[in-house]
Structure 1
Amino acid sequence: MAKHELAQHDAVPLKRSKLSLQEPPTIVPPVFNPRYSDPAFSKPFNTAFRDRLVFKDEQSDARLFNSPYPAASLPNFLESTNYLQKLREELLTEAYFHKSNDLYEFYQSEDLRLSKKPHIAAFKNAIYSQKFFSLMSSLTGIDLDPSIIDLNGNQYHEGCYLLCHDDDIKNEKEGRRIAFILYLVDDDWSAADGGALDLFRCDETGYPVEVTQSLVPVRNTLAFFELSSVSYHQVAEVLTRDKSRISISGWFHGPLQTKLVSKTMPFTSLESSAQDISLESLLNPDYLSESAMTNIGNVFLEQSSIELQKFLRPEIYEQLVQELEAMGSVEGAGTDKALWDVVMGPQHVRRYSRVSQRNQDQIPTTLSRLQRLFKSKVFEAYLTRVTNLTFLSANTELRMFKKGDYTLLHDHALERNGLDVMFSFPHLGEGKDEWEESWNAGSTHYVAEKANLLTLYPRHNTLTMVLRDEGTLRFVRYLNARVGESRRRELSAMYTVNEDDEDEEEEEEGEEGEEEAKVFEN
């Protein structure tokens, strides 16, 4: 679970139903499908759950999957379809909060324990009942604490998602033991609508590798699974415009039988290079004059960030793009796998492609020259001139983000402080000239103290420099389906800074909230 989060947006009464609520009538408590409490079902289910076996009940069509970890699907969970419809209608009258950060984009109600609506209250009481806790304990064999439960309504509209995470939140004595979801989607929801509950297989180090099981939402189905350090899962992006993925979800808590284990993940970097190359042969001459470098330095000193458009000479940038396009036409399927040959993970931290060390000789000539420039002493001297900083080391990476890729704020991926330098050369889909901000995807966000400080979008032939100091983090927002075939391609570098140079930079923290980087455009 990512430990760093952005502040959430204000409450939004999203798509509230116009249902007019009268005085709460007397509501008959919801009845759970009696098949699931029948010992003829619960005993073999419990055995399969405990021994990690596949199980299917022909009478109810309930299923238990054993891979990548035990997860159950119980259809027709509530006996009354009329009650189910009333529950859904009331749920749509709740106020919803827009939940948006590096990990997710969806809408969530307040704690449903606080709701006074009759069908919601009746459902809450049923979930909190000893009968239901006994049912879940008999099915899973897990000792659950009936005094602790979480319960919320959720709406996922087109473009909403919840990326890879494990829900494994606990302290030394108790924690979340079971996650559950009751689906209230339309009857005709299908896999093409998106929103599947994807379960990840982990490798031998305990990190998520790939989705090996997907559960498509089905109305009146209860899905649940045991939480652990390897229970990585996600809600896939919702693709339909006409329907919403509506559900009630929560967690059952219970005592822990194992002690907490802290995992760390090594991050490797490319070797720095001392090869020099001419600035004049690549860079726009407008950024090389003394007056221009002084102006850049003044803006950077004030804002700790700057964006330089048309950074390379026009003919150099055109050559770089043409070489990549030619490489794609030769390969037939584009340069995705031919050049960016390694998918970076693990997926609870990041997912994008990079050019590996073994594939360096495949880099087209102009892009290779630019990469050598970023590692050179002469470029280090240029950065020192415009930022008034000196550097201890430099690490570079050629990376590419396509639909479905992202980076997250996570304790397993904390970066060293320093100067982030990024050169952007995106590939845009047919008919697109610029990366569209309306996609709400593929942007770089700098955050601190739960506030978004700076947002940068991929732009043609653009260099950005951002000084990331203590407490400032960054992430690349999930590339949703709106980006289509567009690709975020970039040469990314991080220069570690001599801390003695930062005394002047720390005098101005900047105002809270969103702030655009100063743009130099020729």
Structure 2
Amino acid sequence: MSPTTSSTTRSADDSVPDQPSTKRQKTAESASSKFHDGLLEDSSREEIRKAFMESKPYLHCKIDKLMNDDLLRRVRKEIFENLHFTVKETDIYKVHQTGDLANLDGLPKDELERLSSLFELRNAIYSPEFRDFISSVTDSGPLSGTKTDMSINSYNEGCHLLNHDDVIGTRRVSYILYLTDPEDRWNPENGGALELYPVVEKGTPANEPTVIIPPQWNQFVMFTVQPGHSFHSVEEVVPEGKPRLSISGWFHIPQPGEPGYQEGREAGESKSSLEQLQEVKRICKIAKFAHYSSEEVEDDALTQETIESLSSWMNPHYLDIKILKQMADRFYDESAVQCKEILSKELFAKIQAVTAKMDHDQFKEDKIAAHGTGVGEGWATYGPPHRLRYMTLAEDQSEAGEAAKLFANLKAKFESDAFRQWLAVVAQLKPQGYRGQARRFRPGHDYTLATTNTRGQAVLDVTFCLATTPSVKASELWESGECGGYECYMAPHDEEEDPATYKAADEEGALLTMTPGCNELSLVLRDEGVMRFVKYVSARAPGSRWDVAFEYDLPEEEEEEENDS
């Protein structure tokens, strides 16, 4: 439901179920008054339970009015007046977030007084009465009263949360309480909707959601955390100055010492989305390397036949042996090199015109286009979205449009023996095989999450990028990175790091970040263990990030001689 927060186990007299007492009865009565009239009564409970049990694509429900309206308005006022939000951004999300609200217990008296309504709300949500309500509605069994897991999230312009299943540790029920402006009903065109995905098989969500729930004031949404099933995302918020404010968190299974605790179900039993991504067995279908017919390739110069073949589509500047030697020296020093204006003027102009028209017709700036936009004319959605989502060339090209035909032709160039020889000269490496795709990253929809090179040795990444740039302002926007679409290489993660989070692109783990160019080719030698992703392309982007991305298999590395410098 939100980026991970650190849950806290706390002690409170009314947190753990015990023997009935007058104090317990007063506490229950007090908690009931915090919620919307009649919500916790048997008739309401049964109605909500019925909707929950009949829901698709997995068990969830929406409660239109959860809290006492006056209390929630006071909470919203306290949040804006007294709390500080920190921007958090990784490959999977961008959000403004507070710290864990369980830490309210430790605040000095004067600070707690300024957040008294928020404190009241948190205690009501984790009260025995409301936990009993959640347990009976969801049939989830007993829920912990000592482990709270709750934070405030503000999804401002450009904020989003990509597909994941919320499975970490002892989480049992996910929830979100919306605090959008009570005087200004949220327009679904503003984005920010919660999207629920069916699964095509356990652990693999469908490419598009089947349930979309726009946020509204005092609305409460919850679902059972189900490994391999509870996949969801939060749509990007597009308008400026209209935050999607919410309180979200989890109810956990009972902890040691609590009624209902079962030994062996402690935190760590379930794997997080990141851990699942890093497992080779859980990666979506990836093509095997196709191998070249010959193992030998020249790496000192281009043959005349190769030059003639490449000159039909490549800028002649990059066929000059002096330029190639300069590029080879740079690649040797930096393990990366970028080539601007790589395509011939004629081919670039043709591709640019076709792609710009498609983007102009299908996407409007600052609007979230419907799921499925762009499908057809030789293009299909590729996933699964808990790992990646973008458009690629469909298997059936019988009705391919001009863009699909141009990119299919360009893709074939990257598979050719001529391009292989060109790579051998530039990188001083001898590719043995290749795999790759033509891709379209649509604004407001597409991305890849961080995946690791698990080949056991380095691979050569080669990517041709053509970001739609209808103006100088558009070029500057891509260059700034503010609308995403950039490609980021990251150092391997420390085993002790929180498995629920990723290193942000601007933190120490970033090895290389390349903003989307127009008619650019990049070569990067990616070592074993290095992670890589294409950042989610924002709805604010001036168009799509179109590219052709290949990996080239390299010969096994020979042991260096002792005296080799």
- Out of 415, 425, 443, the position equivalent to 2:466 is 425
Q: Note if contact 2:431-2:552 (Cα within 8 Å) is conserved in structure 1.
A: yes
Work out whether 1:90 is the aligned partner of 2:128: no
Gaps of 5+ in 2: 5-29, 105-111, 255-261, 295-304, 364-372, 494-502, 504-508
Gaps of 5+ in 1: 6-27, 54-65, 509-522
Deviations 1:40-98 (A, max 9, x none): 2224543553xx22xxxxxxxxxxxx01122222233222x332222112222212221
The corresponding residue for 1:391 is 431
- Out of 54, 59, 67, the position equivalent to 1:70 is 59
The corresponding residue for 1:253 is 252
Work out whether 1:137 is the aligned partner of 2:135: yes
The corresponding residue for 1:208 is 205
Q: Note if contact 1:269-1:396 (Cα within 8 Å) is conserved in structure 2.
A: no
Work out whether 1:492 is the aligned partner of 2:549: yes
Distance 1:216 1:323, change over 3 A: closer
- Out of 454, 459, 473, the position equivalent to 2:512 is 454
Deviations 1:328-348 (A, max 9, x none): 69xx97994455422101111
Match of 2:286, as an amino acid? F
Q: Note if contact 1:164-1:232 (Cα within 8 Å) is conserved in structure 2.
A: yes
> Take 1:333 and 1:419, find their aligned partners in 2: how far apart are those partners?
34
Question: SS of 2:529's equivalent?
Answer: coil
Q: Note if contact 2:469-2:518 (Cα within 8 Å) is conserved in structure 1.
A: no
Q: Note if contact 1:435-1:459 (Cα within 8 Å) is conserved in structure 2.
A: no
> Take 1:360 and 1:397, find their aligned partners in 2: how far apart are those partners?
18
Q: Note if contact 1:435-1:458 (Cα within 8 Å) is conserved in structure 2.
A: no
> Take 2:219 and 2:546, find their aligned partners in 1: how far apart are those partners?
41
Q: Note if contact 2:192-2:234 (Cα within 8 Å) is conserved in structure 1.
A: yes
> Take 1:310 and 1:440, find their aligned partners in 2: how far apart are those partners?
22
Q: Note if contact 1:2-1:165 (Cα within 8 Å) is conserved in structure 2.
A: no
- Out of 99, 102, 117, the position equivalent to 2:91 is 102
Deviation at 1:427, TM superposition (A): 3.2
Q: Note if contact 1:2-1:408 (Cα within 8 Å) is conserved in structure 2.
A: no
> Take 1:495 and 1:409, find their aligned partners in 2: how far apart are those partners?
20
Distance 1:502 1:181, change over 3 A: farther
- The Cα RMSD (Å) is 3.5
> Take 1:75 and 1:34, find their aligned partners in 2: how far apart are those partners?
12
Going by fraction, where is strand more abundant, 1 or 2? 1
Question: SS of 2:168's equivalent?
Answer: coil
Distance 1:319 1:240, change over 3 A: closer
Deviation at 1:468, TM superposition (A): 1.2
Distance 1:181 1:336, change over 3 A: closer
Deviation at 1:214, TM superposition (A): 1.7
Question: SS of 1:434's equivalent?
Answer: helix
The corresponding residue for 1:180 is 175
Deviation at 1:226, TM superposition (A): 0.9
The corresponding residue for 2:7 is none
* Range with greater deviation from structure 2 (35-44 or 88-97): 35-44
> Take 1:398 and 1:429, find their aligned partners in 2: how far apart are those partners?
21
> Take 1:304 and 1:360, find their aligned partners in 2: how far apart are those partners?
40
Distance 1:366 1:178, change over 3 A: closer
Aligned length: 459
Deviation at 1:311, TM superposition (A): 1.5
Deviation at 1:309, TM superposition (A): 0.5
The corresponding residue for 2:488 is 445
Deviation at 1:156, TM superposition (A): 0.6
Q: Note if contact 1:297-1:387 (Cα within 8 Å) is conserved in structure 2.
A: yes
Distance 1:457 1:415, change over 3 A: farther
Match of 1:351, as an amino acid? R
> Take 2:559 and 2:86, find their aligned partners in 1: how far apart are those partners?
39
The corresponding residue for 1:267 is 286
Deviation at 1:267, TM superposition (A): 1.8
Q: Note if contact 2:2-2:249 (Cα within 8 Å) is conserved in structure 1.
A: no
Q: Note if contact 1:154-1:249 (Cα within 8 Å) is conserved in structure 2.
A: yes
Distance 1:233 1:319, change over 3 A: closer
Question: SS of 1:463's equivalent?
Answer: strand
The corresponding residue for 1:226 is 224
Deviation at 1:269, TM superposition (A): 4.8
> Take 2:225 and 2:408, find their aligned partners in 1: how far apart are those partners?
46
The corresponding residue for 1:463 is 521
* Range with greater deviation from structure 2 (437-446 or 303-312): 437-446
The corresponding residue for 2:19 is none
User: How many percent of aligned residue pairs carry the same amino acid?
Assistant: 30
The corresponding residue for 1:242 is 241
* Range with greater deviation from structure 2 (272-281 or 491-500): 272-281
> Take 2:198 and 2:288, find their aligned partners in 1: how far apart are those partners?
26
Distance 1:324 1:338, change over 3 A: farther
Match of 2:439, as an amino acid? R
